[in-house]
Amino acid sequence: MFGRNTIKRGRGNKIYIYVNYLKKTRIIINGTGNTIQFGKNNHLVGCVIIINGNNNTVKLGDNNSVINCEFWIEDDGGSIMLGNSNKILGRTHLAETEGKRIILGDNCLFSTNVIFRTGDSHSILDAKTGERINPAKSIIIGDRVWFGNNTTVLKGAIIANDSIVATGAIVTKHFSDSKLILAGNPEEVVKKGIKWVAERI
């Protein structure tokens, strides 16, 4: 660890972040039984990890590059998990609530102004019964998914491998087919059978 970092872990929490580079990164935990665990060779610059709750997990694999990302967990028993070799290039917000999960596979690419939210933060009730009708849901992302500028992924979304979320898209549904381009609000499949590479060729 290098640079000006802030770590406030409270009591009964575990942080395993050795063999990684952190700069201008804050870790703040309010609660107990929480775990932050990094693999090796991760680079975090200007990031924030905030946990408000108990028995939550933030886990990164190996070789992730993460810039200006906020990992935010509220409530108990939730998790944010990144695989290996992901590139989060700026202004990304990963918000998990109500014990759900945000799972990213390997080799995903994030542009800037990308938002993930497993819940709505506030309750919506049925006017007749008083029953809450907007529970949180997990978000699951496969390998090699590219998120363009100003994209939003909301509760219950599932995106399979080798897909692209186009600039400005809002994704809320389950897409089990791989190699798709998703665009628009609401999202729709605009192209199938694609392959993307980071280099211009």
pLDDT at residue number 82: 98
**Each residue of 42-93: pLDDT tens digit?**
999 999 999 999 999 999 999 999 999 999 999 999 999 999 999 999 899 9
Share of the chain above pLDDT 70, in %: 99
Q: How confident is the model at residue 103 (pLDDT cuts 50, 70, 90)?
A: very high
Non-local (6+) Cβ contacts of 12 within 8 A are 32, 33
- Residue-averaged pLDDT of the chain: 96
Distances in Å between the Cα of 103 and the Cα atoms of 23, 142, 153, 193 are: 24, 8, 12, 24
pLDDT at residue number 121: 86
pTM here is 0.95
pLDDT at residue number 3: 62
pLDDT at residue number 201: 85
For the chain, give me the number of helices (H) and strands (E)? 0, 25
What average pLDDT score do residues 110-127 get?
A: 96
What average pLDDT score do residues 119-146 get?
A: 96
Rounded distance between C-alpha atoms, residue 64 and residue 81, angstroms = 12
pLDDT at residue number 2: 55
Q: Which single residue is written with the structure tokens 């006017």? A: 127
Q: Residue 135 gets which letter from DSSP?
A: -
pLDDT at residue number 1: 56
What average pLDDT score do residues 173-179 get?
A: 97
Of 54, 63, 62, the closest CA to residue 35 belongs to 54
| 198 pLDDT higher than 90 | no
What average pLDDT score do residues 176-199 get?
A: 95
Q: How confident is the model at residue 4 (pLDDT cuts 50, 70, 90)?
A: confident
Q: In residues, how long is the chain?
A: 201
Rounded distance between C-alpha atoms, residue 50 and residue 80, angstroms = 11
Higher pLDDT, 125 or 200: 125
